Structure 1
């Protein structure tokens, strides 16, 4: 029997799921199995061999997890009772896995004995060749389980099945997975700061990104910039013929450079210098002059409010044009977010450091304690060690990272600290168990203080990172989220800096020409109507025409503004500071909902809101996820409306209302009406982005 040639499965001329050597399924918590062909198929010469099994019916003895509590199993695509070996002539009648008549008894990891033995891989040689599992000695002399039998029932949705298994082993696997998912979810809710990971990457449109030149839409990028150049040339020629200047009457240029340029620069410098408050406050916290948990965070929030109010008052006092005011206001917001992130992250680390010092003092007490004979140590402290539940040294570290009051805390280390303070005698085993618990907690706290990219020389670990040079560097980095260290480049490419700087001024020139030619005339006309005392009814009649006039120019200005900031300016800053993570945006142009757009179009601000607003609302104020989402949208809407108030010198609430309306729109995008309809969702997104800026601008101008 060992010389028998392995059977060869007939080749199917279609691309349904039966053509795959194995299927991969996702098993959800609702017992729904989603099946699809495995991408990691075997080589053409060995396509009949599925994944090797250890003989227990599920590979390595446990169900793999993707980290989110979803467990995956490989399902054999053959069953002896229904078309395991399909006739070539009937293959055209089979379209996909959903249309065939399934035997409810389906196999997990190709281990059922009823399957043709010749299809089974040789477990001992890695599955490269096959032999019959019934061959003597094929199982290594071990009496191993051959199969786990499950049942699949259709749900009415293509590719989804209800999976049931009357098997204690798989039930235990699933139960442990669900318990692990609940435990991980509980741990995540108790973590103070979200783990943001910075990696080396390029922006999508950066020429250094290999995916840009290989993109199938590369020609459309070229077409867009060619169109921008042609528009610039066309408008410039018309302005030159009519006004003798490529900028026409040059009203916008005069508005930007007519007055207070020196004062504008001095104001920006003072704003930058004032951010040092966050650094000085953290030095006081680190020296234990101020407690971050009590006074520190209050002082920081008061300072940020005063900082913002002073800048807004200064723009009104100087009566600056909108160009000056909006520049200073946006730069003010950047500095506030940087101060907030630096202060609150280091404040958190200061509490972690204080907890570590407290535990080190307890550890010192244990080291000085003299163990007593085992019989004398068998006191009430035996309950502390937890004889019935295993020793303390096997328990997980506490998630109370910043607590320093061990008397009121409920954790393993607090139990140990209470036992130490009681003064009761301990034998050697108990002392070792207590030391193990504290050492484990200290090691866990050390990881927090080292950050996610610890340096070998510990140069940027807390509190060594509290240096003025480190703070000044963070102020210059193109990120709003403070970390102890970031991925860095080895050197600065000055040709790249020159390229992006030239692109910045070139795009700004195009934006100025488009604004002068297409946006300034309707804006000037609406201002003239209001100054002439035209009643609101008459102005309202002009509203649709103003909206239509500014549709295309405002969309172009919006795209170019995004490009010049997130592709040009931030890349220049990143290259100058050797900042390697260029993930400043995602593919927001493919958005199918407004929450996706909010995540992808401005990654630095999104990361800041995610860590310091959304997650902080959950951890500090114990809000639910929905409430934290509302708070995040509310804060964003308030800031955007404040920006419009600075721009138009009035508060109307139009943008604030539109921002909050995104929440029900997000909910609508997740309903059956729009869920899964990517084209429709993307069309709705682009309609909103196309019409929204012109509509809102016209509202602020006309009313």
Structure 2
């Protein structure tokens, strides 16, 4: 038989009623009533009586008859709380303990003879007998008690608000290894480790067979070797010098942040604009140089991709330190206000001037000051605060105007300022444990260029570091790097280059678009498997060999450059897992920045993030093929409806089917893209 939970007072989210919150407030020495309050104790005792919760006589449906019979046989529990009033001799008198009457909010207005306060009218009301939750208010004319309850409700409202990390604090670096790294014990003990070994055995057999056939036909294991000739035909030294100069030019962002710290540039006004203008000029030079020099596609791919990496590194470095510069400036201003407050002499009487102590929310003072608590408080105040100015702004104006302040006001103002100063200091230290990495100590030449060579795109004050360099590990990964490049060249030479030359021949012979498009299925079928192999090998080359070599040489301990993307059941999971450095960058500097700066919802921010990523990929394709077709942009934006499809009831729990659809896209996507550029 269904039973009903007994009516209870308004809960504060931690299992205590409003009465408990009020008692805790009265017991707090820093917030106790003024001495004059004891004259009202008789009126308060008269107003607060025995607890008699009432339930409105609202008819219920027939389905709850059995539950109503059980309720009729029960006695409503009496909920009471103790209120201690302070006597004239500063001691608490037990005789002053009274039991207030608590009634439903819908009867409070009729009982008191006047409308309920707005903050009580906003509470949920219950009109049905079958409701499990009831809302009650204390009927009392005591203004101080109402103020205590108001501040208690405000405090609990701040605690239950949904929290969200600040946009620049989402990335957490920890010491870990990549999935296929032999140092990763989970990978070494995986039940699928044998398939990984089988894959490389199969690749070895394929390369040996291909090399043997090339030797028999041309007398060279690499065959005619056009790809190697293209790579090293010209401008190799120019490419390396240009790449070094490009990396050196990232120091412009460091110089700019030094100027911001010295207050020659205001980051919030003109600093970020100048930074964006420099980044635009930087990427224009990166894209323009290969066009001017007419580099082959191998040079172009390397230089443009590395240039985009340097662009993202500069953006993260500049905007994170720019954010910290505003925090640092605000903290310095608060420290100056604190010194001014120390020079203020309190008045001997209770100051009637604003701001009064009761006007400030003080619940956060009981929490340790931290950057997360500070941003959560700012967010809650932005939603709940009705005034235009924050507490700290109000206090600053009171100090500047030199209004008379009593001792209680000075004490509270000092606590509020010190809490924010400590919270801002926590933001300036971040995850760093070494004071040399705290802002602004991190704005050094060496710190900037150390970040430039680290295998990450997201700037932090300090990263987890390894103790030493394992040179045998570096040699192992270097051999893997050379070996994978060799395998990729052989696959391209044997299986991709002949197909590409066939499409070039069709264009040279003057085939019409219709005739070339008729060859589309056959070209696609010839490219689908070799492109799949190249796609897998290029991913392994960058994320398992290159990044691990850089991480080992730079003592970078967080090797989580990818996750198990091959198990993806949707395209959003794949976007998160296959390239963690880029995903972390887009999450912090595009997704969250769109939400905070452009005031858009998360769906629009996701659309912006995907569109920007697709535009960058399309830029790379334009640099390679010298054609602006938009094929890659369209295919990448098609991932969004596919993500929506994967969340429908037909595919939501179908992991195997979702993974099959994902792999079908991986198989056909790269080869279809290349075929479109070659045929059309």
TM-score range, shorter-chain basis? 0.7 to 0.9
Q: 1:309 aligns with which of 284, 288, 303?
A: 284
Aligned match of 2:358:
386
Shift of the 344–249 alpha-carbon distance from structure 1 to 2, 3 Å rule, reads: same
Aligned match of 1:76:
none
Q: Is the 8 A contact 2:565 2:573 kept in 1?
A: yes
Q: 1:499 aligns with which of 473, 476, 482?
A: 476
Q: Distance in 2 between matches of 1:673 and 1:575?
A: 45
Q: Is the 8 A contact 1:384 1:419 kept in 2?
A: no
Aligned match of 2:174:
199
Q: Distance in 1 between matches of 2:233 and 2:361?
A: 77
Q: Secondary structure at the match of 1:201?
A: coil
Q: Distance in 2 between matches of 1:397 and 1:558?
A: 45
1:400 Cα deviation from its structure 2 partner: 5.4
Q: Secondary structure at the match of 2:356?
A: helix
1:372 Cα deviation from its structure 2 partner: 2.0
Q: 1:232 aligns with which of 207, 229, 234?
A: 207
1:394 Cα deviation from its structure 2 partner: 5.6
Q: 1:673 aligns with which of 647, 650, 654?
A: 650
Aligned match of 1:184:
162
Q: Secondary structure at the match of 1:369?
A: coil
Q: How does 1:260-339 map to 2 (within 5 A)?
A: 260-339=235-314
Aligned match of 1:450:
429
Q: Distance in 2 between matches of 1:521 and 1:177?
A: 72
1:393 Cα deviation from its structure 2 partner: 4.8
Shift of the 595–419 alpha-carbon distance from structure 1 to 2, 3 Å rule, reads: same
Q: Does 1:430 align with 2:405?
A: no
1:165 Cα deviation from its structure 2 partner: 9.1
1:243 Cα deviation from its structure 2 partner: 0.6
Q: 2:584 aligns with which of 607, 615, 619?
A: 607
Q: Secondary structure at the match of 1:459?
A: helix
Q: Distance in 2 between matches of 1:380 and 1:397?
A: 28
Q: Secondary structure at the match of 1:184?
A: coil
Q: Is the 8 A contact 1:519 1:550 kept in 2?
A: yes
Aligned match of 1:583:
560
Q: Distance in 2 between matches of 1:589 and 1:416?
A: 56
Q: Distance in 2 between matches of 1:370 and 1:289?
A: 37
Shift of the 242–231 alpha-carbon distance from structure 1 to 2, 3 Å rule, reads: same
Q: 2:631 aligns with which of 649, 654, 675?
A: 654
Q: Distance in 1 between matches of 2:554 and 2:364?
A: 47
Q: Secondary structure at the match of 2:309?
A: helix
Deviates more, 1:307-316 or 1:339-348: 307-316
Q: Distance in 2 between matches of 1:431 and 1:62?
A: 34
Higher helix share: 2
Q: Is the 8 A contact 2:565 2:578 kept in 1?
A: yes
Q: How does 1:84-483 map to 2 (within 5 A)?
A: 166=132, 183-185=161-163, 188=165, 191-373=166-348, 375=349, 377-381=350-354, 383-386=355-358, 393=365, 397=374, 410-455=389-434, 458-483=435-460
1:409 Cα deviation from its structure 2 partner: 6.5
Aligned match of 1:51:
none
Q: Is the 8 A contact 1:486 1:579 kept in 2?
A: yes
Aligned match of 2:112:
none
Q: Distance in 1 between matches of 2:530 and 2:155?
A: 54
1:428 Cα deviation from its structure 2 partner: 1.9
1:312 Cα deviation from its structure 2 partner: 1.2
Q: Distance in 1 between matches of 2:252 and 2:446?
A: 14
Q: Distance in 2 between matches of 1:365 and 1:179?
A: 33
1:628 Cα deviation from its structure 2 partner: 0.7
Shift of the 671–179 alpha-carbon distance from structure 1 to 2, 3 Å rule, reads: farther
TM-score (norm 2): 0.74
Aligned match of 1:520:
497
Q: Is the 8 A contact 2:428 2:438 kept in 1?
A: yes
Q: Does 1:543 align with 2:516?
A: no
Q: Does 1:684 align with 2:656?
A: no
**Residue segments in structure 1 that go unaligned for 5+ positions in a row:** 1-59, 64-103, 106-163, 170-174, 402-407
Q: Deviations over 1:137-187 (max 9, x none)?
A: xxxxxxxxxxxxxxxxxxxxxxxxxxx994779xxxxx99996786234x5
Aligned match of 1:696:
673
**Residue segments in structure 2 that go unaligned for 5+ positions in a row:** 1-12, 17-65, 68-129, 136-152, 368-372, 380-386
1:453 Cα deviation from its structure 2 partner: 3.1
1:697 Cα deviation from its structure 2 partner: 0.6
Q: Is the 8 A contact 2:317 2:458 kept in 1?
A: yes
Q: Is the 8 A contact 1:586 1:603 kept in 2?
A: yes
Shift of the 657–580 alpha-carbon distance from structure 1 to 2, 3 Å rule, reads: same
1:535 Cα deviation from its structure 2 partner: 1.0
Shift of the 291–586 alpha-carbon distance from structure 1 to 2, 3 Å rule, reads: same
Q: Secondary structure at the match of 1:386?
A: helix
Shift of the 666–308 alpha-carbon distance from structure 1 to 2, 3 Å rule, reads: same
Q: Distance in 2 between matches of 1:179 and 1:693?
A: 52
Shift of the 674–281 alpha-carbon distance from structure 1 to 2, 3 Å rule, reads: same
Q: Secondary structure at the match of 1:608?
A: helix
Q: Distance in 2 between matches of 1:492 and 1:365?
A: 52
Relative contact order, higher structure (CA 8 A, sep 6+): 2
Q: Is the 8 A contact 1:397 1:437 kept in 2?
A: no
Shift of the 538–471 alpha-carbon distance from structure 1 to 2, 3 Å rule, reads: same
Question: How many residues align structurally?
Answer: 528
Q: Is the 8 A contact 1:384 1:415 kept in 2?
A: no
Shift of the 449–437 alpha-carbon distance from structure 1 to 2, 3 Å rule, reads: same
